Amino acid sequence: MSGLNFASFYVGQEFALGPYHVSRDDLLSFAEKFDPQPFHLDEAVATASVLGGLAASGWHTSSILMRLICDALFLKIDALGSSSIDEMKWLKPVYADETLAGVLTITGVRLSKSKPHMGIVNFEVALNNAGGEAKAFMRSMVFVRVAP
């Protein structure tokens, strides 16, 4: 066991995320399915656009962020899902063959008023490339089971 549970969370606690390599094939297959805008599918269009090169859909970046959060935290605790994103910023394009990593910081820990067996943990995530350039920022929350 990870030793992590609702009672062990505190504001300011940090978890390292990643690394995660974004391959060109992954980028294209996500875009084909969910975000087929020309600048996510065509190298020439992308290079001429404000993105400056073939870049991942923001929703792909967000989904990768979720995978990193699962691996670093949610799969190690009794997580019960989330109901919202409070803020999601795509700060810079994520290009093919970049490697992402980040930090999740706990920003709030409280019991649910309506469901006392559930805790609510708020957090923010900063995602960077290997050179330390900020790529995305998110604020969200997760419900966590409270041990009886």
Q: Which residues bind a copy of itself (CB under 8 A)?
A: 30, 33-37, 39, 49-51, 57-60, 62-64, 66-67, 70, 74-75, 79-91, 143
Which lies closer to a copy of itself via its Cβ, residue 11 or residue 34?
Answer: 34
- d(CA 117, CA 50) in angstroms, rounded, equals 48
Q: Between 87 and 132, whose beta carbon lies closer to a copy of itself?
A: 87
Q: How far apart are CA 97 and CA 105, in angstroms?
A: 26
Closest by alpha carbon to 95, among 46, 38, 146? 46
- In the complex, what is the shortest distance from the CB of residue 67 to a copy of itself, in angstroms, rounded to a whole number? 5
- The residue type of 125 is V
Taking the complex as a whole, how short is the minimal distance between the CB of residue 107 and a copy of itself, in angstroms?
Answer: 17
Instruction: State which residue, 2 or 83, has the beta carbon closest to a copy of itself.
Output: 83
Q: How far is the CB of 68 from a copy of itself (least distance, A)?
A: 10
CA distance 94 to 9: 31
In degrees rounded to 5, what are phi and psi of residue 145? Answer: -65, 140
Q: Which is nearer to a copy of itself, 11 or 43 (CB)?
A: 43
